[in-house]
Amino acid sequence: MTATLLSINGLTKAYPGVIANDDVSFDILQGEVHALLGENGAGKSTLVKMIYGLVKPDSGHMVLNGAPYAPPEPRAARASGVAMVFQHFSLFDALNVAENIALGMESPPKMGDLATRIRKVSEAYGLPLDPFRTVGDLSAGERQRVEIIRCLLQDPKLLIMDEPTSVLTPQEVEILFQTLRKLSAEGTAILYISHKLEEIRSLCDNATILRLGKNVGTCIPRDTTARDMAEMMVGDTLMTPKSAGREFGPVLLEVSNLSMKSPGAFGTSLKDLNMAVRQGEVLGIGGVAGNGQDELLLALSGEILTPSEAIKLDGAAIGHLGPNQRRRLGLLAAPEERLGHAAAPDMSLTENAMLTGAVRQGLERRGFLNWSKARDFAEDIIAKFDVRTPGAGNAARSLSGGNLQKFVIGREVLQTPRVLVVNQPTWGVDAAAAAAIRQALLDLAAGSTAVVVISQDLDELMEISDHFAALNEGRLSATRVAAELTIDEIGLMMGGAHGMEVAHG
Amino acid sequence: MLNLEKRPTPSQKWAYMTPVLAVLGTMIVGGVLFAALGKDPVVAIRTIFWDPLFGEFAFYYRPQLLVKGGPLILIAIGLSLGFRAGIWNIGAEGQYIIGAICGAGAGLAFYPLDAWYIFPLMILCGALGGMLWAMIPALLKVKFGTNEILVSLMLVYVAEQLLASMSLGLLKNPDGMGFPGSRNLKDYPAAFNDEIIAGSGMHWGVVFAFIAVIFAYVLLNRHMLGYQIRLTGQAPRAARFAGVNPARLILFCLGTSGMLAGLAGMFEVSGPSGQVSIDFNTGYGFTAIIVAFLGRLHPVGILLAGLLMALTYIGGEIAQGQLGLPGAAIQLLQGMLLFFLLAVDLLTNFRIRLARKGAA
C-alpha cells in the first residue's frame, strides 16, 4: 500500500483571466482513498479533468506506475486504468442499464454476456442492480451505481469520484462508502472530490487541499477537525450565520393536497403535498435531487398553474395565478438553475433586474419600461449583495456562479417579499458567498417574511431551518422541528436507502 | 491552429462591424466568381453596388431602391419580431400574396366608384388578410403544438394556388379579353397606390415600412412585450419565470408578421405591380428572411439591409442586361451575403486565438 500509483508534478492550467491550477503537485498511493478538497472554483474539477484526459495542462507532467502519463483523451486515460464517475450523470433515460453501459464501451460484448458481467460485478461490490431496468425509472443513487459499475467493468487502478454524495441520502452514502472501502482494500486507489468534510474524515486516508488553484496543504483527515480543514480551504476563519430567536406569526403560505404532473417526461410528479409556513419561519425542504424539488418550485412560483385552492397566500387561493400576479401579492421565488431560468445569460444585469422586478419595483408603466429605474435597482442589488462585476451593463453569463447567485437571491430579497421560495440557494457558491446568502435569508425571516428553502445540502438546511420536511418521490414528509432531528431520522424522511438493499456480507 | 473562445460579454464593436465585413467579403468572393465567369470583376462589382446609386442613370434607379426596399423592410420587420422570440414564420410569401388578393379584391369590389375611403379600406383588408393567413400556423401551434415552420411554408403553396385561381376566376378582368389577371389598379385612381412625391419611388408602402421600423424599435427597447419577445428567444424558461404567456406571444408574433407581409403585398399590388396576376409574387417574402438576419434582427439594421438587398436586386438586373451576367450568379451573390454574415457573426460572440502547442 505504499507504492506511488500516480504522481502529479507541477500541473498548471490557465484559462483567460483565471489560473485554474497553479503548479499543483501531489502523489496518490496505490489502494488509498485520497481526498481532493477545496471550495467551488478552487480548481478541483480542472485538475481531475487533466488526469482524465479531458483537458491538457499548460505545463507540468504526471507519472502513472513509473511511466510518463499524458492522456490526450479520456479513452487513453481509461486504457491506462483511470476511470471517473462524474457529478452529473451521462445516462440516457430511455435506455436500460445494460444498454447505457454498452454505449460507453469500445467494443461492447453481446447484451446477454454484458448483463451477466454487470450482475457479477454489482454483486461483488454490494451494488445490486438489474441490468434490464430503464434508467429513467431509477433513483439518483441507483443511477450513480450504473456509473460506478460502468467504471468497475474496466477494472480501474484509479477511480476518480466527483462529489458522489451530493445526490445521496445518508443511508445511501453509507452503502457507497462500504463499496469504496472494499475497492480500496483490493488495491484500487480512489481520488475522492468533495467539500463535505465529515464524509472525508470518515472515508479518506489522505487529503490534498486546493485553494485558488494552488495546493495549500495536505492533512490526514482522521486526525484533523472539520473546522481546521474548512479554514484551510477558505484561508480564513469562518463565520457561521446567526439567527436571532424569532416569534412566528400567522400562516402566510399554505399548500394543501397539491398534486401536479411533472412537465418533463422523466420528471417527478407532485403527490398530495401539504405544508404551511408562518411569518418569520424558515422551512427547510430536503431530499435527494430529482424527487420533485424543481416541480415544487414551479408550482409555487406560478410557472405551472394548479387548482386554485391548492396554494393559499394569506388565506386567499392563488393556485390559478401566474408568476407576476403572485409577485404582486408578495410571493417571490428564486429557481435553482441560475443561467437560463433565474436569469437570461446574454442579457445585462439591468435587463435581468427587470425580469422579476418589473411588478413590485414599479419598473413598468402601462407596458412601457423604465430602464433607468431598472438600472438603479440592479445597482442596488450589486451594492447590497456584494456582487463582483464591473457594472450593471454586463451580461449575466460574464459573472461567476457565486456572484450571479448573489444577484439572483438579492433581486428577490430586496423586493421585500411576504413569502420567498428558493431552490438550492447556495449551489456551486463559495463558502463566503454561501454564508452571506444564508444570512440574508435569515434576516429576511427576522423581518417577518416566510421563507421556504429547498436544498439538497443537509448541513445548510440544519443551519438555517426552523422546521424541516423532506421530498421523496414527489411526496412531502410531515414537517418536524429541525433542531430535534437526528441524521438517521432525516435520512429516513428522505426515503432511506430508496429500496436499494445492502448486499455487503 | 485557430481556436475559438467564447467572449464573456458579446462585443459591441464587432456587432456593428460584422455586416460591413460581410459585405466586403461578398464583394471580394463575388468578384472572384465573376472573374471565373470571364467578366471584369471590378466592373461587375461597380455595376452592381455603385452604378444604381451614382452611375449615369442613377436618377432612374434610385427610386427603384425604395420601391424594392419598401416591401422587403416591411416584411423583414415583422419576421424579426418572431425570429427574436424563436417563432419561425417562413411563410411571409404566402401572407404577402393573401394580403395582395384581399387588398386588391376589396378595391375592385367597388370599381368604378370613386370614394376617399376605398384605399384605406384596401389597406385594412390587406393587413387583415395577411394576419389571418398567419393565424393558421399560429393557432395550430398553440392548440396542437404543430411546427410553425412547416405549416407556414406549406401555406405559401396554397396561397400561390389561390392566387392563380383568383387571376383566372373571381378577380379576372372582365374587359381583359380573356387574358389572366385582374383589372390594372393604375387605371382606377381611388384604389391606386401612387407615388407620394412624383419620381421619388416613395409610395404608401414605403411610408408604412418606415413607420414599422420605428414601431419595432420602440417595442423592442421600451415596451414590456418587446422585452418578453427578446427574453423568450434567449431563455425560454426564464421567460416563463418572468410571467410570459407563450401562447399569447406566438399569436402576437405570427399575427404581426403576417399583417406586415399582407400590407406589403397590398401596397405592391395596388402600386408598382398594379394587378393581381399569376406571377405576382417574386419572392419578397423569402428574401425578407435574409434581410431580417442581415439586419441582425434589429429594426435599424433591417432598414439598411433592406436597402442593400434592393441595391443588389437592381444592380443585378443592370449587370444581367449590360454585362450578360447570368441571373443565377446574382442570386449566388445574395446568398453569399447571408453566408458571410453568419460566418463573420462568430466574431461577436467568440474571439479567435492562436492555439499554443499543448505542453504535457
d(CA A274, CA B307): 62
- With an 8 Å Cβ cutoff, is A261 touching chain B? no
Which of A276-285, B199-208, B329-338, B343-352 comes out lowest in average pLDDT?
B343-352
Predicted confidence band at B141 (pLDDT cuts at 50, 70, 90)? very high
Q: Which residues of chain A neighbour B230 with C-beta distances below 8 Å?
A: 347
Which of A80-94, A351-365, A367-381, B102-116 comes out lowest in average pLDDT?
A80-94
Q: Which residues of chain A neighbour B225 with C-beta distances below 8 Å?
A: 367
Task: Please write the tens of the pLDDT for every residue from B234-246.
Answer: 999 999 999 999 9
Buried b (16+ CB within 10 A) or exposed e, B174-209: eeeeeebbbbebbebebbbbebeeeeebbbbbbebb
- Please compute Rg for chain A using Cα positions: 24
Supply the pLDDT for residue B356.
Answer: 55
What secondary structure, in 3-state letters, does B220-275 show? Answer: HHHEHHHHHHHHHHHCHHHHHHCCCCHHHHHHHHHHHHHHHHHHHHHHHHHCCCCC
Contacts of A490 by beta carbon, 8 Å cutoff, 6+ apart? A170, A286, A458, A468, A470
CB contact under 8 A, A322 and B227: no
A242 occurs within a structural domain: no
A176 occurs within a structural domain: yes
CATH of the domain at A57: 3.40.50.300
Predicted confidence band at B229 (pLDDT cuts at 50, 70, 90)? very high
Residue A328 has a CB neighbour count (10 Å cut-off) of: 11
- Which residue, of A171, A203, A234, is where some domain finishes? A234
pLDDT of residue B80 exceeding 90: yes
CB contact under 8 A, B241 and A356: yes
Domain count, chain A: 2
pLDDT of residue A432 exceeding 80: no
- Once rounded to an integer, what is the mean pLDDT over residues A124-134? 86
CB contact under 8 A, A345 and B223: no
Supply the pLDDT for residue B360.
Answer: 36
How many H-runs (helices) and E-runs (strands) does chain B carry? 14, 2
What secondary structure, in 3-state letters, does B131-148 show? Answer: HHHHHHHHHHHHHHCCCH
Q: Which residues of chain A neighbour B222 with C-beta distances below 8 Å?
A: 368-369, 371
**Chain B residue with Cα closest to A348:** B9
Q: Are residues A62 and A92 in the same domain?
A: yes
- Which residue, of A209, A234, A259, is where some domain finishes? A234
A51 occurs within a structural domain: yes
Supply the pLDDT for residue A348.
Answer: 94
Supply the pLDDT for residue A503.
Answer: 47
Backbone angles phi, psi at A311, to 5 degrees: -125, 125
d(CA B113, CA B45): 49
Question: Nearest by CB to B359, which of A57, A333, A354?
Answer: A57
Choice between A267 and B8, residue whose per-residue pLDDT is larger = A267
A354 occurs within a structural domain: yes
Q: Which residues of chain B neighbour A70 with C-beta distances below 8 Å?
A: 360
d(CA B238, CA B229): 12
A503 occurs within a structural domain: no
pLDDT of residue A238 exceeding 80: no
Question: Nearest by CB to A367, which of B223, B238, B239?
Answer: B223
Predicted confidence band at A19 (pLDDT cuts at 50, 70, 90)? confident
Q: Which residues of chain A neighbour B5 with C-beta distances below 8 Å?
A: 16
Supply the pLDDT for residue B358.
Answer: 43
A133 occurs within a structural domain: yes
Supply the pLDDT for residue A497.
Answer: 63
Predicted confidence band at A2 (pLDDT cuts at 50, 70, 90)? low
Supply the pLDDT for residue B357.
Answer: 47
Let me know: does B25 contact B162? Beta carbons within 8 Å: no
**Chain B residue with Cα closest to A51:** B360
Question: Nearest by CB to B360, which of A16, A70, A335?
Answer: A70
Q: Are residues A299 and A439 in the same domain?
A: yes
- With an 8 Å Cβ cutoff, is B326 touching chain A? no
- Once rounded to an integer, what is the mean pLDDT over residues B91-107? 96
Supply the pLDDT for residue A184.
Answer: 92
CB contact under 8 A, A56 and B358: yes
B 29-88: CB under 8 A from A: none
CB contact under 8 A, A59 and B5: no
Write out the residue range of the structural domain in which residue A153 sits. 4-234
Question: Nearest by CB to B235, which of A59, A323, A345?
Answer: A345
Q: Are residues A276 and A415 in the same domain?
A: yes
- Once rounded to an integer, what is the mean pLDDT over residues B154-172? 94
Predicted confidence band at A427 (pLDDT cuts at 50, 70, 90)? confident
Burial level of A456, CB count in 10 A (0-12/13-18/19+)?
buried
Question: Nearest by CB to B243, which of A16, A61, A323?
Answer: A323
- With an 8 Å Cβ cutoff, is A124 touching chain B? no
CB contact under 8 A, A70 and B8: no
Q: What percent of chain A has pLDDT over 90?
A: 46
Which of A125-129, A439-443, B28-32, B246-250 comes out lowest in average pLDDT?
A125-129
Complex ipTM over 0.95: no
Q: Comparing C-alpha atoms, which of A308, A364, A314, A355 is closest to residue A333?
A: A355
At A264, list the grid cell: 418533463
- With an 8 Å Cβ cutoff, is B10 touching chain A? yes
CB contact under 8 A, A356 and B234: no
Supply the pLDDT for residue A163.
Answer: 82
- Which residue, of A182, A202, A234, is where some domain finishes? A234
Taking the CA of residue B225 and the nearest CA in chain A, the distance in Å comes to: 7
- With an 8 Å Cβ cutoff, is A398 touching chain B? yes
CB contact under 8 A, A345 and B234: yes
What is the identity of the amino acid at A96? N
Question: Nearest by CB to A346, which of B234, B242, B243?
Answer: B234
Supply the pLDDT for residue B112.
Answer: 86
Task: Give the β-pairing of A311-313 and A158-162.
Answer: unpaired
CB contact under 8 A, B235 and A344: yes
Q: Are residues A315 and A170 in the same domain?
A: no
Supply the pLDDT for residue A137.
Answer: 81
Supply the pLDDT for residue A237.
Answer: 66
Question: Nearest by CB to A59, which of B5, B245, B359?
Answer: B359
A239 occurs within a structural domain: no
Taking the CA of residue A159 and the nearest CA in chain B, the distance in Å comes to: 21
Map grid coordinates 435574409 to a residue. B290
- Once rounded to an integer, what is the mean pLDDT over residues A296-300? 95
Averaged pLDDT of chain B:
90
Task: Please write the tens of the pLDDT for every residue from B3-13.
Answer: 777 776 667 77
Question: Nearest by CB to B225, which of A61, A342, A367?
Answer: A367
Which of A152-156, B153-157, B283-287, B353-357 comes out lowest in average pLDDT?
B353-357
pLDDT of residue B340 exceeding 50: yes
- Once rounded to an integer, what is the mean pLDDT over residues B302-310? 93
- With an 8 Å Cβ cutoff, is A337 touching chain B? yes
Q: 3-class SS at A438?
A: helix
Count chain A–chain B contacts defined by CB atoms under 8 A: 88
Taking the CA of residue A393 and the nearest CA in chain B, the distance in Å comes to: 10
Q: Are residues A216 and A266 in the same domain?
A: no
B 212-251: CB under 8 A from A: 222-225, 227, 230-231, 234-235, 237-243, 245
CB contact under 8 A, A347 and B8: no
Averaged pLDDT of chain A:
88
Task: Please write the tens of the pLDDT for every residue from A87-123.
Answer: 777 888 889 999 999 987 878 888 889 999 999 988 8
Supply the pLDDT for residue A169.
Answer: 81
- With an 8 Å Cβ cutoff, is A354 touching chain B? yes
Question: Nearest by CB to A369, which of B8, B9, B224?
Answer: B224
pLDDT of residue A505 exceeding 50: no
Q: Which residues of chain B neighbour A369 with C-beta distances below 8 Å?
A: 222-224, 227
Task: Please write the tens of the pLDDT for every residue from B197-223.
Answer: 888 888 999 999 999 999 999 999 999
Taking the CA of residue A345 and the nearest CA in chain B, the distance in Å comes to: 8
Choice between A185 and A197, residue whose per-residue pLDDT is larger = A185
Choice between A213 and B208, residue whose per-residue pLDDT is larger = B208
Taking the CA of residue B292 and the nearest CA in chain A, the distance in Å comes to: 20
Task: Please write the tens of the pLDDT for every residue from B27-59.
Answer: 999 999 999 998 899 999 999 999 898 888 888
pLDDT of residue A39 exceeding 80: no
d(CA B92, CA B287): 10
Q: Are residues A201 and A259 in the same domain?
A: no
- With an 8 Å Cβ cutoff, is A68 touching chain B? no
pLDDT of residue B94 exceeding 60: yes
Question: Which residues partner with A251 through β-bridges?
Answer: A278
**Chain B residue with Cα closest to A394:** B9
Task: Give the β-pairing of A82-85 and A158-162.
Answer: parallel
Taking the CA of residue B7 and the nearest CA in chain A, the distance in Å comes to: 8
CB contact under 8 A, B227 and A354: yes
Taking the CA of residue A351 and the nearest CA in chain B, the distance in Å comes to: 9
**Chain B residue with Cα closest to A372:** B222
Predicted confidence band at A1 (pLDDT cuts at 50, 70, 90)? very low
Backbone angles phi, psi at A23, to 5 degrees: 55, 55
Q: B38-325 sits in which CATH class?
A: mainly alpha
Q: Are residues A9 and A98 in the same domain?
A: yes
**Chain B residue with Cα closest to A349:** B9
Predicted confidence band at A389 (pLDDT cuts at 50, 70, 90)? confident
Q: Are residues A93 and A213 in the same domain?
A: yes
- With an 8 Å Cβ cutoff, is A23 touching chain B? no
Q: Which residues of chain B neighbour A344 with C-beta distances below 8 Å?
A: 231, 234-235, 238-239
- With an 8 Å Cβ cutoff, is A54 touching chain B? no
Task: Give the β-pairing of A59-64 and A189-194.
Answer: unpaired
Q: Which residues of chain A neighbour B234 with C-beta distances below 8 Å?
A: 344-347
Q: Are residues A314 and A400 in the same domain?
A: yes
Q: DSSP characters for B174-236?
A: TTSTT-SS---GGG-GGG----SSTTS---HHHHHHHHHHHHHHHHHHHBHHHHHHHHHHH-H
